[in-house]
């Protein structure tokens, strides 16, 4: 496995663990934020494995859709989950009167965990052809 991709997966796992701790402390808005970053880092791991690198969130999201889902490397559901997690994070962190439920937090964490597993499997399966 590419060293850089592996490092992004480690960051993804750490962010997911942080999200679990926050959810356990009933800090659901913060948990959603960390779960989003877990997905973002997993997406970056996949892109790096395909020799594509971006740092800005919007660029990662666009490249993920263009280089991974449209090419059939990963199910488009994961791209939608990444988009949904960003939207949830924005509401959770910036919505002054937003209410974030335990169920919303749990669902975002479940998706983040599945996203990381899927990314790890794809990367471990062999090289992702560059665009």
* Domains of the chain, start order: 3-124 (1.20.120.330)
| pLDDT per residue as tens digits for the range 49-98 | 999 999 899 999 999 999 999 999 999 999 999 999 999 999 999 999 98
| pLDDT per residue as tens digits for the range 14-48 | 999 999 999 999 999 999 999 999 999 999 999 99
Look up the pTM and report it: 0.96
Task: Give Cβ neighbours of residue 39 (< 8 Å, ≥ 6 apart).
Answer: 12, 81, 82, 85, 111, 112, 115, 116
pLDDT at position 41: 98
Asked if pLDDT for residue 1 goes beyond 90, the answer is: no
């Amino acid at each position: 496995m590419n060293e850089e991709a592996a490092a992004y997966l480690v960051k993804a796992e750490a962010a997911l663990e942080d999200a679990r701790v926050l959810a356990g402390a009933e800090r659901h808005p913060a948990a959603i934020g960390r779960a989003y970053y877990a997905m973002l880092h997993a997406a970056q791991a996949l892109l790096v494995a395909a020799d594509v690198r971006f740092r800005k969130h919007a660029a990662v999201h666009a490249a993920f859709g263009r280089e991974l889902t449209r090419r059939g490397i990963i199910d488009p559901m994961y791209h939608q989950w990444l988009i949904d997690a960003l939207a949830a994070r924005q509401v959770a962190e910036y919505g002054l009167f937003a209410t974030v439920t335990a169920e919303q937090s749990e669902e975002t964490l479940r998706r983040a965990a599945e996203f990381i597993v899927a990314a790890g499997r794809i990367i471990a399966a062999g090289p992702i052809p560059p665009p």
